[in-house]
A and B are shown apart, each in its own frame.
Chain A
């Protein structure tokens, strides 16, 4: 049997926003036609750039406002500048950016040390909260980390792992 609004009386606002016209063409139904004129709108005032900002080569210029966050720098900056020579359609854009992010993490740690800060990994990773709410998970993680680290150290310090086998020629 078909349900009516009465069946949903326990749900505040049931059907209040129903719109039979909501078929799958939104937002095209709001097209103004101006999109056929290209970048014809009156642009906002251009922000004065006071730091290096990279822009996608899929646009000819900067947007009127740009971000105020971290400019590219160091080796990660070099990689990011390389990435921005390629369009967003290219893996040569995105994969170097992912690599730059990894390099940037190491740069961040070095930068911390250079400024006399020792990163507090325990705090930065939120382990205080994990210890409070799920201590067994944290203990397991630390045990696994310790085991892997100890195993790696033992393997690296074992003297005979790569000794060439001498064979007699006779």
Chain B
């Protein structure tokens, strides 16, 4: 089968690989119909996540058709079209029972701080991902969710990660009616987070980025205020204090993570020298621009080591910080309703459709923000068969 193949930082290719096999009685094999490149794939692509091995297949956002099931799989059958949450969750450990499906204790032998993810380095459990024609999906009784009749594949594939992640970012912000929420990062997750803030009753939503085309997109998609931290202000924290009557935002969302720009010291130590687990510029700004007693919600991905953030300000301001990988399976019922009722239209984020054969071009375009790209979807050659 054709699959993406990681060769080193900023080097990937599409190659023929052996078909995935059932390795566990609760496994399923899925023929991929749509698969995305995610912003968090760029952390792998750039070589920022430890234990990312040459030869791995990335891809944690995909939908497909079940073509084979293990002997203990009863909840899905061959021929079902499913969306596959990016977290691998057993559904029965104490963390899954709490609804923390991104923190499953039975899916990642190689790290305990995080559950297993499809296609996300060996730090994420070493599971090959879905940027391929076929993928192995563990715990098929629990994770894969039927795509409802009438839902497009494009909407469905964006329910496997970025929509739940954006939604959870807003949920963790503890938004109460009328709150002012600032979202740092106008990538797909940040844009979706801004859109979801309204669902929780936000009174004002502001998104901050440095790419004008993304800010313009966010303004239209999420109906929020959008500002460029390079051209609209000298200091984002001062700007946000001023625009909130010198109080600060009720909640700030870090939807950027390790790749943040905007602070030379963070960029050099976090992204170039890898002396910290990525550049924590967005988190730094979030802590400093939220009001006293406010909430900072983090969904941007960082590496597993340390970051330089103003933890003293967090204490002195009485800030609550919340973060997690999205618990996709917990959010799906409500998000499916929102999509089916026309409240959310995630597929509008898709700007580029790229054949899987050209996966290297897709990564380069997304990484370098070429051609006004917002969200690229890869189409495997077998998707239309």
Contact = CB atoms under 8 A, between A and B. Distances in A.
A91 B2 CA distance: 37
Where chain A touches its partner, the secondary structure class is loop
A12 B343 contact: yes
Contacts of B23: 47-48, 50, 65, 68
B364 A105 contact: no
Given A67-B125, A69-B55, A13 B338 contact: yes
B24 A65 contact: yes
Given A119-B7, A124-B13, A100 B109 contact: no
Interface string A42-61: 11110110100111101100
A170 interface: no
Nearest to B72: A45
Contact of B112 (A27, A59, A91): A59
Nearest to B118: A67
Nearest to A134: B370
Contacts of B342: 12
Interface stretch (A29-37, A142-150, A151-159, A161-169): A29-37
A139 interface: no
Contacts of A123: 13, 360
Nearest to A53: B109
B126 A18 contact: no
Interface string B161-200: 0000000000110111110000000000000000010111
A126 B363 contact: yes
Contacts of B100: 27
Interface string B47-81: 10011111111000000000000001000000000
Interface residues of B, number: 89
Contact of A17 (B53, B72, B200, B304): B200
Contacts of A30: 97-99
Query: Interface size for chain A: under 10, 10 to 19, 20 to 34, or 35 or more residues?
Result: 35 or more
Given A27-B100, A44-B26, A101-B51, A63 B364 contact: no
A28 B114 CA distance: 17
Contacts of B47: 101
A70 B24 contact: no
A44 B139 contact: yes
A63 B109 contact: yes
Nearest to A96: B50
Given A44-B139, A133-B371, A24 B295 contact: yes
A20 B320 CA distance: 17
Contacts of A55: 109-110
A32 B98 contact: yes
Nearest to B320: A24
Most B Cβ at <10 Å: residue of A28, A68, A128: A68
B203 interface: yes
Interface in B97-142: 97-100, 105-113, 116, 122-123, 125-128, 136, 138-139
Given A20-B176, A69-B53, A126-B367, 6 more contacts: A41-B97, A94-B304, A109-B7, A109-B8, A124-B13, A126-B364
14 contacts: A11-B198, A13-B344, A19-B200, A27-B327, A54-B122, A68-B20, A69-B56, A70-B53, A72-B53, A101-B53, A105-B9, A108-B8, A108-B54, A119-B7
Interface of B: 7-13, 20-21, 23-27, 47, 50-57, 72, 88, 90, 92-94, 97-100, 105-113, 116, 122-123, 125-128, 136, 138-139, 171-172, 174-178, 196, 198-201, 203, 223, 274, 295, 304-305, 320, 322, 327, 334, 338, 342-344, 358, 360-365, 367-368, 370-371
